[in-house]
């Protein structure tokens, strides 16, 4: 009986200690977020336990509506990991191979693209210039995009920046093309494929394609700063333009469901997940390498995968320390991407610093 009582005491003691550690991390994170001036929603979790899920600042400054964990934000380039997942699903189904030439699936591909593979698009090593580069793109953000297949004409005749596979250069054009390839193979719209094959199976009911015409409850308004430093409404962007490179909205709660699913085989096999997290030897930036829709780095000696997103009025980031089962998700309705990206990594370091 004494042994049983001792064991029960030990379980209670350890449980109490874990709760104190979790509370301590949450308090430190909350203080950090407030000091950093982040407005949006933030979620921190470790080993299946949510440490912090909280809104900061306002989702709509004109109406005085507060941000909360259920608030929906445009996630920008975090979209790319869902596009990459869809491509890997199609590979698992035998409908494509990442080693295939993209000309096989794009009827109007120029001859210069014959040597480009789906792998090159996924890993940003295709050499195709990003259609979002340059001032001319900013001047055309408000224009109707038309069909994705027609939109390709805007960048298909630009010369390659390098031979495919020889360099890394981040390219939204590559992920745009991946969305078109998905549609050509499946006969489904990009948004419909993701909903049926990723969002619905994972019960991510608060994630989807952010068409402005849709009446969407809990949607945050996006904000920028003027040259004088004043808060202003973000510039309009036709959401057909970011497409498979950055068109989705989500919540921190839904992205946490996404994080949990990546420890299972619910949407991808273990092999495909490993492929997505396999770093290309060509470096992205600051010691970060790229897989398929994910950046791969080391944070406090642990392998971490993550991605940021920046789109008019919004900045976002997700970082996951895989071995430690820890995740940080920040969705902000202010487009100061540098602040959010730096904070995501530092908050992950905060989690990993505690025993």
The span from the CA of 162 to the CA of 169, in Å, is 9
* Per-residue tokens: 157: 């005749």
Q: How does pLDDT run across 183-242, given as a tens digit for each residue?
A: 999 999 999 999 999 999 999 999 999 999 999 999 999 999 998 989 999 999 999 999
Residue 176 clears pLDDT 80, i.e. is over it = yes
- Those residues with Cβ within 8 angstroms of residue 274's Cβ, 6 or more apart along the chain or in another chain: none
Query: How large is the average pLDDT for residues 321-349?
Result: 93
How, if at all, do strands 326-332 and 223-225 pair?
unpaired
- Report which of residues 336 and 166 the model is more confident about: 166
The span from the CA of 352 to the CA of 325, in Å, is 10
Long-range contacts of 148-151 (CB under 8 A, 24+ apart): 148/176, 148/179, 148/180, 148/183, 148/190, 148/240, 148/243, 148/244, 149/108, 149/180, 149/183, 151/176, 151/240, 151/241, 151/243
Structure confidence at residue 285 as a pLDDT band (50, 70, 90): confident
* Per-residue tokens: 74: 């445009």
Q: What percent of the chain has pLDDT over 70?
A: 93
* Per-residue tokens: 286: 């600051």
Residue 9 clears pLDDT 60, i.e. is over it = no
Give the burial string for 5-39 (b: 16+ CB within 10 Å, else e). Answer: eeeeeeeeeeeeeeeeebeebbebbeeebeeeebb
Q: How does pLDDT run across 82-120, given as a tens digit for each residue?
A: 999 999 999 999 999 999 999 999 988 999 999 999 999
8 Å CB contact between 105 and 85: no
Residue 150 clears pLDDT 50, i.e. is over it = yes
SS3 at position 208: strand
- DSSP strand E in 8-86: where? 40-46, 49-56, 58-60, 65-66, 73-74
8 Å CB contact between 109 and 157: no
For the chain, what is the largest distance between any 2 Cα atoms, rounded to a whole number of angstroms?
80
What is the per-residue pLDDT for 137?
82
- 210: phi then psi, degrees, rounded to nearest 5: -90, 75
- Report which of residues 8 and 256 the model is more confident about: 256
Give the range among 38-47, 169-178, 281-290, 344-353 with minimum mean pLDDT.
281-290
Residue 347 clears pLDDT 90, i.e. is over it = yes
Domain borders along the chain are: 25-353
- Those residues with Cβ within 8 angstroms of residue 177's Cβ, 6 or more apart along the chain or in another chain: 102, 106, 121, 128, 152
8 Å CB contact between 296 and 290: yes
What is the per-residue pLDDT for 19?
66
pTM given for the model? 0.93
What is the per-residue pLDDT for 338?
64
Query: How large is the average pLDDT for residues 156-174?
Result: 96
CATH 3.40.710.10 assigned to domain 25-353? The reply is: yes
8 Å CB contact between 75 and 332: no
The span from the CA of 44 to the CA of 320, in Å, is 10
């Amino acid at each position: 009986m004494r042994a049983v009582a001792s064991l029960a005491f030990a379980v209670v003691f350890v449980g109490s200690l874990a709760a104190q550690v979790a509370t301590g991390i949450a308090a430190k994170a909350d203080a950090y977020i407030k000091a950093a001036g982040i407005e949006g929603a933030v979620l921190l979790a470790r080993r299946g336990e949510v440490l912090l899920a909280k809104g900061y600042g306002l989702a709509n400054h004109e109406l005085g509506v507060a941000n909360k964990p259920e608030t929906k934000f445009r996630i920008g380039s975090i979209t790319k990991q869902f596009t990459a997942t869809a491509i890997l699903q199609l590979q698992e189904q035998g409908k494509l191979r990442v080693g295939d030439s993209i000309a096989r699936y794009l009827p109007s591909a120029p001859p210069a693209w014959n040597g480009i593979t789906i792998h090159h698009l996924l890993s940003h090593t295709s050499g195709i210039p990003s259609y979002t580069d340059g001032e001319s793109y900013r001047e055309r953000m408000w224009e109707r995009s038309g069909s994705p297949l027609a939109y390709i004409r805007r960048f298909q005749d630009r010369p390659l920046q390098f031979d495919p596979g020889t360099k890394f250069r981040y390219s939204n054009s590559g992920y745009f093309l991946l969305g078109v390839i998905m549609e050509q193979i499946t006969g489904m719209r990009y948004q419909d494929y993701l909903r049926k094959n990723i969002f619905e199976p994972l019960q991510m009911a608060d994630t989807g394609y952010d068409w402005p015409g849709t009446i969407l409850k809990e949607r945050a308004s996006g904000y920028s700063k003027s040259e004088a430093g004043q808060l202003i409404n973000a510039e309009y962007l036709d959401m057909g333009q970011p497409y498979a490179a950055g068109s989705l909205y989500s919540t921190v709660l839904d992205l946490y469901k996404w994080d949990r699913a990546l420890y299972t085989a619910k949407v991808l096999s273990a092999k495909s997940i490993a492929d997505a997290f396999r770093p290309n030897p060509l470096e992205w930036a600051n010691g970060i390498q790229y897989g398929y829709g994910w950046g791969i780095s080391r944070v406090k000696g642990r392998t971490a995968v993550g991605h940021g997103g920046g789109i008019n009025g919004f900045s976002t980031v997700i970082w996951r320390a895989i071995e430690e089962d820890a995740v940080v998700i920040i969705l902000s309705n202010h487009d100061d991407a540098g602040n959010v990206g730096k904070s995501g990594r530092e908050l992950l370091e905060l989690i990993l610093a505690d025993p």
